[in-house]
Amino acid sequence: MNSSERESFDAIVIGAGQAGGPLAGTLGKAGWQVALIEREHVGGTCVNEGCTPTKTMVASARVAHLARRAADYGVQLGGVQAGEVAVDLARVRERTQKLVKSFRSGSQRSLEKVENVTLLLGEARFVSPPRGRGDFGWGRQQAHAHGGKDLYQRGRAARVAAN
């Protein structure tokens, strides 16, 4: 690896999920130069597949449940009977996707605003085994975002190289 092809960071964080995003942000705010590498979506599992979409759909199910029980609470739904309350799954899904996109892009914008944090979209992978104390290699693919350069983590905690 030619050292001129390397780009150095104090820390390289793989994954912009619940763990990686806040970690990169905290290190960046503390003055570390950080590369944060994400292969799919900023926000990780929680925002994109886990907490946010499931709880959004559960919220719709709860509204349907309560609407069916409206009369028990003394609420009239304009003549609609409990058995007539229907769930429009396409609309539920649309609402879910809208929220997910909004949380994802909000997270991405927040990370992009943090000074010292460089968000790179691509697959990270280790490219070499540990070579000694505080010195280990790993990597990625920054094919599009980063022109395939190797990333190199310098001294603060451990050294990392990525390509």
Ligand X SMILES: Cc1cc2nc3c(=O)[nH]c(=O)nc-3n(C[C@H](O)[C@H](O)[C@H](O)COP(=O)(O)OP(=O)(O)OC[C@H]3O[C@@H](n4cnc5c(N)ncnc54)[C@H](O)[C@@H]3O)c2cc1C
- Binding stretches for ligand X (CB under 6 A): 14-20, 37-40, 44-46, 49-51, 54-55, 123-125
Strands 124-125 and 139-140 come out as antiparallel
Which one, 20 or 137, has the nearer CB to ligand X?
Answer: 20
Output the smallest distance, CB 38 to ligand X, in A: 5
Edge-to-edge strand list for the sheet holding 11-14? 11-14, 34-38, 117-121
Which one, 41 or 159, has the nearer CB to ligand X?
Answer: 41
Strands 34-38 and 11-14 come out as parallel
Which one, 83 or 147, has the nearer CB to ligand X?
Answer: 147
CB 17 within 8 A of CB 43: yes
Output the smallest distance, CB 99 to ligand X, in A: 14
Output the smallest distance, CB 78 to ligand X, in A: 34
Which one, 54 or 81, has the nearer CB to ligand X?
Answer: 54
Which string of b and e fits 133-148 if b means at least 16 CB within 10 Å? Answer: eeebbbbbbbeebbee
Question: Taking the CB of residue 132, how many other CB atoms lie within 10 A of it?
Answer: 7
Output the smallest distance, CB 124 to ligand X, in A: 4
